[in-house]
Structure 1
């Protein structure tokens, strides 16, 4: 299976190209959002795509939108993406695109953390807190937190790091009502998803959500939801406190990159074929375990 690094849809106007997704205007109030097979690590887009990755992200996000219905409305319109492009462009969108409402993005990355790992672990070791949230003393790496915590970050331009901010800063930026809405939704979505995933043998250590505001002023869940790109998925049967667990996400390719003589600026090292294949397998395994389906 070859990977799709970028789209070329000439029948619609391209409005945005991110690390993974490309968006095209569908009329004035909708977007065609296509998930490519690009992968980024340390805010650098790698030259080598992960075959099928965009289809996995789309399938998992659609699964979660359905599974978590009732917390907040989402951005889906229900329009078949294959109907808004030319026949010769259908293959570029099949299984990897949605037609979504055009929302005003809330420029806060909403992170829910249920376990102490990654940047959160480093922060805790240095300060006893994670993004300003004070935690009990004596916690170990990968330990489950007493309660999930909300650690927002101000979204940055592509290629630069998001900046951790306090909840009070979110209130300053968007007002108390919206700040409370996205914090409460983030934690509720995480709790529901984490409880369900455990029944499938997967621990969701942390995840991030994005929200936007529609024409009526309602907050909606948007972008991707609980995918291997936006979450840490750990196999429950091998989980052990005090060690960094293996995972069904991009951590595998991150670990390979960490072992290379690379300063984390573009261009990234050429990734070996076996690392690409194993990464693709991990993404598909997450989809199979959580949603009980696979991509074509």
Structure 2
């Protein structure tokens, strides 16, 4: 995994597949801080592996998209905190210059061990499971659906957040209740469906479909309020499709023209048996993926 950068006045405390976390220098860790610097790298992951090379500019693109979505989702509290402080009349940037554009300043939360997945369309692991059980994560679905079909209504299909290096595990809603309690489980489901529905309406006006996505939430350490955290509705956490291609396509591949890392997944599936170290991504796959990430950001954020 690519090593994290050394940042003045900040201490590195954690690296995930894509993001690095820092706390102010002098703090011992995430349990001893009132601010966390979340830095998105250009690393790209697929099938639980970090791949080489990264996607140039990806960290900034995803951070910009997350910040834009946080601005749209005003009905749900999120973990962002001001990234400037005032010194008299002068605004002082709290985010180090080396990572400006690809970093967010957030408050620490007590994170719930659940990935809150919402699916509006049947594809990916949901499609594989549906072919076997006519359901996804215990949610029964109508018979006769095909890969890429829009579901009658969005469904909530949570997953257990596995430790780094292990596979996340799809779980039932009942298992979520066991993990976080009935009241929190219900609220996670309600908020996830609320955000997905609102975001889908925004995206569809811009010719983009959000096929599925995942959210993460934590409890505010002072108030206990359930708060939206991590990245939100990025190309890494969501499947985005072109609405025109979806309406006119005659095959699943034509219908599901994606703005996410599906290009990477498809290439890996064709060139790797998922054992050992993944092969290096070819330059054209890297370039095409970066172009799709940029196009999605432009489509969604343009006036």
Number of residue pairs matched by the alignment: 284
| Structure 1 residues without counterparts, runs of 5 or longer | none
Tell me how far 1:10 sits from its aligned partner: 4.7
Which one of the candidate residues 20, 23, 26 is aligned to 1:25?
23
Alignment match, 1:15: 13
- After TM superposition, the structure 1 stretch with the greater mean CA deviation from structure 2, 121-130 or 242-251, is 242-251
State whether residues 44 and 264 of structure 1, in contact with CA within 8 Å, keep that contact through their aligned partners in structure 2: no
Instruction: Determine if the alignment matches structure 1 residue 131 to structure 2 residue 140.
Output: no
Aligned equivalents of 1:241, 1:80: Cα separation in 2? 50
Q: How does 1:245-284 map to 2 (within 5 A)?
A: 245-260=256-271, 262-284=272-294
Following superposition of structure 1 onto structure 2, how do residues 217-232 of structure 1 map, counting pairs within 5 Å? 217-232=224-239
Contact 2:116 2:189 in 1 (8 A): yes
Segments ≥4 residues shifted beyond 6 Å: none
Residue matched to 2:56: 51
Normalised to the residue count of structure 2, the TM-score between the two structures is 0.90
Q: CA deviation at 1:241?
A: 6.9
Distance 1:271 1:203 in 2: 27
Change (3 A) 1:237 1:15: same
Match of 2:300 among 270, 281, 290: 290
How far off is 1:12 after superposition? 1.4
Q: For the structure 1 residues 19 and 105, does the alpha-carbon distance in structure 2 shift closer, same or farther, using more than 3 Å as the test?
A: same
Structural RMSD (CA): 1.7
Q: Which has the higher contact order (CA 8 A, sep 6+)?
A: 1
Could you state the TM-score of these two structures normalised by the residue count of structure 1?
0.92
Counterparts of 1:266 and 1:97 in 2: how far apart (Å)? 32
Report the Cα distance in structure 1 between the residues aligned to 2:61 and 2:72, rounded to whole angstroms: 16
CA distance in 2, matches of 1:58, 1:176: 33
Which sits farther off after the overlay, 155-164 or 228-237? 155-164
The secondary structure found in structure 2 opposite 1:259 is helix
- The answer to whether the Cα contact below 8 Å between 1:142 and 1:241 also exists between their aligned partners in 2 is no
